[in-house]
């Protein structure tokens, strides 16, 4: 695949979508933040470019994602596709513009989420998997970067994105696809199931095992097979496999509520074609919540957890707040600052850039 041409802000594609800025990049191409002139709304735009002699898999990646998003139309927590077009050398997919991903939030929280946050995430993330599995789709590339929050502060849904590696696990007639070996690793090595590492075909159980690793990563800040040094990618992959093979769930979940070990043991025990019991898995995590009297909320919604000490000190200087400042003035300042920090996680696209239109892509 040839390098994707960088599109500068202000350009218009398909005579309808104004580019604001690039917000992501992958093997498929680039993702841009933009504005839909026709529908007067902010959108995310995926653009994939290739040469005519590129292999079929590269050419069909975004087309396949578009087909799956069409099947998932109307599902909560799934970005809604509003436009798709393909030419001989391009694919353009336009969908809902969402907020930042969980990996970015995780880094902002100094690489550690509270238990109550992870339990709330587990419930929603399991629901997303249950939704796509009910449509006969497996994701095959679960990672924190593929779970996003909304850019609407009132929307508490966790969204699942990026279906470029996803596939249907049932054929026409409703029959499960047969088990295959030597298909190669599909997905991200850090969170891939052991079965996927062995090169075996994946099913719903593999999505669920990947989710388990993500939750533990959120609680511990790392996984035993992270930061492995190797001379090349192939050697590193082998070392990750060995580490996963030799890491028992009891050790992996040490220091965590026992339900996490139960969850991993359950999903690892599932057969290739077996229907997972989503209610059972949700009940495990809800038990942790009930036992600890957790509220169903996320820590990044609390201004005190996302404030930056240095910024706060500078703001205090600008506001002339010191030890002699009255408590009422300090309280008012903290209230105003909390609104600023809470808003910083939800930055909608400004429509003013429409006037910057330069030319049509």
What secondary structure does DSSP assign to 183-248, as a single string?
----S-TTT--HHHHTTPPP-HHHHHHHHHHHHHHHHHS--TTTT---SSHHHHHHHHHHHHHH--
- pLDDT score for 296: 77
Catalytic residue flag (residue 152): no
- pLDDT score for 218: 98
Compare 304 and 138 and report the one with higher pLDDT. Answer: 138
3-state secondary structure 165-198: CCEECECCCCCECCCCCCCCCCCCCCCCCHHHHC
pLDDT in tens, 146-181: 999 999 888 999 999 999 999 999 988 899 999 999
* 124 contacts 318 by C-beta, under 8 angstroms: no
Asked whether residue 360 carries a pLDDT value surpassing 60, the answer given is no
- pLDDT score for 303: 45
Assigned fold of 102-300: Transferase(Phosphotransferase); domain 1 (1.10.510)
Asked whether residue 48 carries a pLDDT value surpassing 50, the answer given is yes
Q: Catalytic residue among 36, 141, 275, 323, which?
A: 141
- pLDDT score for 326: 55
pTM for this entry: 0.82
Per-residue confidence at 52, pLDDT binned at 50, 70, 90? low
Average pLDDT over every residue of 237-252: 95
Average pLDDT over every residue of 257-274: 98
Assigned fold of 12-97: Phosphorylase Kinase; domain 1 (3.30.200)
- pLDDT score for 346: 38
């Amino acid at each position: 695949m040839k390098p994707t041409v960088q599109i500068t802000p202000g350009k218009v594609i398909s005579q309808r979508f104004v580019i604001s800025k690039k917000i992501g990049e992958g093997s498929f191409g680039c993702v841009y933040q933009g504005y839909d002139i026709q529908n007067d709304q902010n959108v995310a735009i995926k653009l994939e470019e290739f040469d005519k002699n590129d292999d079929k898999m590269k050419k069909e990646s975004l087309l396949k994602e578009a087909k799956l998003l069409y099947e998932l139309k109307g599902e909560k927590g799934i970005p809604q596709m509003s436009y798709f077009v393909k030419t001989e050398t391009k694919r353009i997919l336009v969908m809902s513009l969402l907020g930042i991903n969980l990996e970015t939030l995780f880094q902002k929280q100094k690489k550690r989420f509270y238990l109550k946050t992870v339990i709330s995430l587990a419930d929603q993330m399991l629901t997303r998997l249950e939704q796509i599995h009910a449509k006969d789709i497996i994701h095959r590339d679960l990672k924190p970067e593929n779970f996003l929050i909304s850019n609407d502060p009132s929307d508490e849904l966790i969204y699942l994105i990026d279906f470029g590696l996803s596939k249907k696990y049932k054929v026409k007639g409703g029959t499960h696809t047969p088990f295959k070996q030597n298909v190669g690793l599909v997905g991200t090595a850090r969170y891939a199931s052991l079965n996927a590492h062995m090169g075996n075909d994946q099913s719903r159980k593999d999505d669920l095992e990947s989710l388990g690793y993500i939750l533990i990563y959120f609680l511990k800040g790392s996984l035993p097979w992270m930061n492995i040094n190797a001379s090349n990618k192939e050697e590193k992959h082998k070392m990750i496999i060995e580490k996963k093979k030799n890491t028992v769930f009891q050790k992996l979940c040490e220091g965590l509520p026992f339900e996490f070990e139960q969850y991993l043991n359950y999903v690892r025990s599932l057969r290739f074609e077996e229907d997972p019991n989503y209610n059972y898995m949700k009940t495990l995590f809800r038990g942790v919540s009930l036992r600890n009297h957790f509220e169903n909320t996320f820590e990044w919604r609390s201004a005190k957890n996302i404030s930056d000490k240095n910024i706060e000190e500078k703001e205090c200087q600008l506001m002339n707040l010191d030890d002699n400042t009255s408590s009422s003035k300090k309280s008012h300042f903290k209230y105003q600052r909390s609104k600023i920090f809470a808003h910083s996680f939800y930055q909608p696209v400004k429509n003013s850039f429409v006037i910057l239109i330069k030319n049509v892509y």
